Amino acid sequence: MTRTVIRGGLVITAAEEGRMDVLVEDGKVAALATPDSALAEGWTADRTIDATGMYVIPGGVDAHTHFDLPFGGTASSDTFETGTRAAAWGGTTTVVDFAVQSRGRSLREGLDTWHAKSQGTCAIDYAFHMIVSDVNEHTLKEMDGLVEEGVTSFKLFMAYPGVFYSDDGQILRAMQRASGNGGLIMMHAENGIAIDVLIEQALARGESDPRHHGEVRKALLEAEATHRAIQLARVAGSPLYVVHVSAEEAVAELARARGMDLPVFGETCPQYLFLSTDNLAEPGFEGAKYVCSTPLRPREHQAALWRGLRTDDLQVVSTDHCPFCFSGQKELGRGDFSKIPNGLPGVENRMDLLHQAVVDGHLSRRRWIEIACAAPARMFGLYPRKGTIAPGADADIVIYDPNARQTLSAETHHMNVDYSAYEGKTVTGRVGTVLSRGELVIERREFVGRAGHGRFTPRATCQYLN
Ligand code: URP
Ligand code: ZN
Ligand code: ZN
């Protein structure tokens, strides 16, 4: 029985904050007590962590990653091993990655493939959503079985015709199934059919630079798809979670639905909060580094995203970590922006960027922990095991230095990608030590974890619906 005591830190959860010592026993949080209290003084331990001057926060839950994803004629450059290690460096202790059903194949085959990729390689705990790219009678039946196995959420795409795209009838059927089995439908809400027309027209005009990616994937086409997804979910009687929301108009659709008490949820990502179309327009082919979908928007959209996070019209910030190296991968789209693999790196940066949002006054400390730890855990059936520091929870704990300054850079990051989307950005706050189920993964900024420590974690259904 290993006992660790974390002494002297400021414990912050989504619900409260205060100076508390934390006792960890056998991988779980055993107790919290006021420092210097008789209870805390009485704790004996194999290991004592001095957290004086530090925050003691739950490990981050990143509910949207793509490790080793075949996409855009290549595959995302982080494996489960490199990606989960980088996540830990950034204070994230649980990721929910997307297993993929290939067209013409079953959900089971897709899930088995993702289990094989991840088994024995992860530094932190992980779970899966399922991308459904072929809605048919067999797939619909399989959804029930996956919910039973702890894969309780299903991503559908209104974008990428011919790849992941589902039409409205398929979406409605999947939503009807989810309304019966407790699954949560996650939606990539962009009108991909209309976007493909605009891509073709732009390329015919000779508009081939990365910035045109942002111009053809219009905010109105995100808003339209978001609206349509909400109406389809209402008809089906199912809940809906809209992923990677970037447009102000899409936030308005979510806010309207939530104002009607509909079980509609939304996620945004750091890239939409901190980056913009200015990055897509960087000279030469540099803008390719920022090609993702939904795309980066003009800076003016950011205020609506921050507001949505404060008003709870957006509940979660995930990374949509889907890295492609500039050299050899993003370059596939030189001369044709539509061939640039879509996706940005960020699994290592999320907790720090959101802490910077606290420093900048966009968020309170507790809301930081809520949108990065507690809400994603609740949304995807992992709470209170993950996402909080409370007796009985997994001891996934980060000792965070709120005063350290760091400059984000590809030179120093641990993600397996040759650029940083935030190159040169200085932020205040940095991860010091990370525990996953009570075991040290990062110790005073040294990686001491191991591939294979991380376990597949079956999930319950969405906990905002019970
Ligand atoms: O550009 C993105 N978002 N790439 C990853 C796939 C997706 O749609 O989430
Ligand atoms: Zn997507
Ligand atoms: Zn994604």
Alpha carbon 386 to its chain's center: 14
**430: β partners:** 401
CATH fold group of domain 4-57+394-442: Urease, subunit C; domain 1 (2.30.40)
Q: Whose CA is nearest to atom 2 of ligand 1?
A: 343
Give the Cα separation of 461 and 466 in Å (integer): 9
pLDDT value at position 1? 66
Distance (Å) from CA 243 to ligand 2 centroid: 7
Beta bridge partners of 127: 96
State the Cα–Cα distance between residues 405 and 137, nearest whole angstrom: 54
**For the whole model, what pTM was predicted?**
0.98
Q: Which atom of ligand 1 lies closest to the CA of 159?
A: 8
353 CA distance to ligand 2 middle (Å): 21
Segment holding 202, helix H or strand E: helix 192-204
Q: Which ligand is nearest to the CA of 98?
A: 3
Taking the centre of ligand 1 as the mean of its atom positions, its distance from the CA of residue 158, in whole angstroms, is 12
d(C-alpha 354, C-alpha 374), whole Å: 14
Residues 310 and 302: their CA atoms lie apart, in Å, by 12
Identify residues whose C-beta is under 5 A from ligand 3, the ion: 320
Centre of ligand 1 from the C-alpha of residue 155, in Å: 11
Question: Which residues pair with residue 440 across a beta bridge?
Answer: 435
Instruction: Please give all residues whose beta carbon lies within 6 A of any atom in ligand 1, as ranges.
Output: 66, 188, 244, 292-293, 320, 322, 342-343
| H-run or E-run covering 268 | strand 264-268
Q: How far is the CA of 160 from the centre of ligand 1 (A)?
A: 10
Residue nearest atom 7 in ligand 1 by C-alpha distance: 293
Per-residue confidence (pLDDT) for residue 466, from 0 to 100:
74
Integer Cα distance of 44 and 28 in angstroms: 16
Closest ligand, as measured to the CA of 323: 1
Residue among 65, 154, 322, 330 to mutate when testing ligand 1 (max atoms within 8 A of CB) = 322
- The structure tokens listed for 83 are 């990606």
Hey, where are the domains in the chain? 4-57+394-442, 60-379
Scanning 275-386, the segments in alpha helix (DSSP H) are 277-280, 302-311, 350-359, 365-369, 375-379
**Looking at ligand 1, which atom is closest to the CA of residue 188?**
8
Around Cβ 282, how many Cβ atoms within 10 Å? 14
What is the CATH number that goes with domain 60-379?
Answer: 3.20.20.140
Ligand nearest to the CA of residue 318, numbered in listed order: 3
Ligand closest in space to the Cα of 217 = 1
The residue nearest atom 3 of ligand 1, judged by CA position, is 293
Separation between Cα atoms, residue 161 and residue 169, nearest integer Å: 14
pLDDT tens, residue order, the chain (466 aa): 689 999 999 999 999 999 999 999 999 999 999 999 999 999 999 999 999 999 999 999 999 999 999 999 999 999 999 999 999 999 999 999 999 999 999 999 999 999 999 999 999 999 999 999 999 999 999 999 999 999 999 999 999 999 999 999 999 999 999 999 999 999 999 999 999 999 999 999 999 999 999 999 999 999 999 999 999 999 999 999 999 999 999 999 999 999 999 999 999 999 999 999 999 999 999 999 999 999 999 999 999 999 999 999 999 999 999 999 999 999 999 999 999 999 999 999 999 999 999 999 999 999 999 999 999 999 999 999 999 999 999 999 999 999 999 999 999 999 999 999 999 999 999 999 999 999 999 999 999 999 999 999 999 999 999 7
Residue 225's pLDDT is 99
Q: Residue 48 corresponds to which tokens in the numbers above?
A: 């004592």
Determine the distance separating the centroid of ligand 3 and the alpha carbon of 320, expressed in angstroms.
4
Of 325, 318, 214, the C-alpha closest to 270 is 318
DSSP symbol at 393: S
Whole-number Å distance, alpha carbon 154 to ligand 1 midpoint, is: 15
Query: What is the position in ligand 1's atom list of the atom closest to the CA of 342?
Result: 1
- Residue owning the nearest CA to atom 8 of ligand 1: 293
Closest protein CA for atom 4 of ligand 1: 343
Q: Which ligand is nearest to the Cα of residue 342, counting in written order?
A: 1
Instruction: Determine the residue of 320, 321, 329 to mutate for testing ligand 1's pocket, defined as the one with the most ligand atoms within 8 A of the Cβ atom.
Output: 320
Residue 45 contacts residue 3 (beta carbons within 8 Å): yes
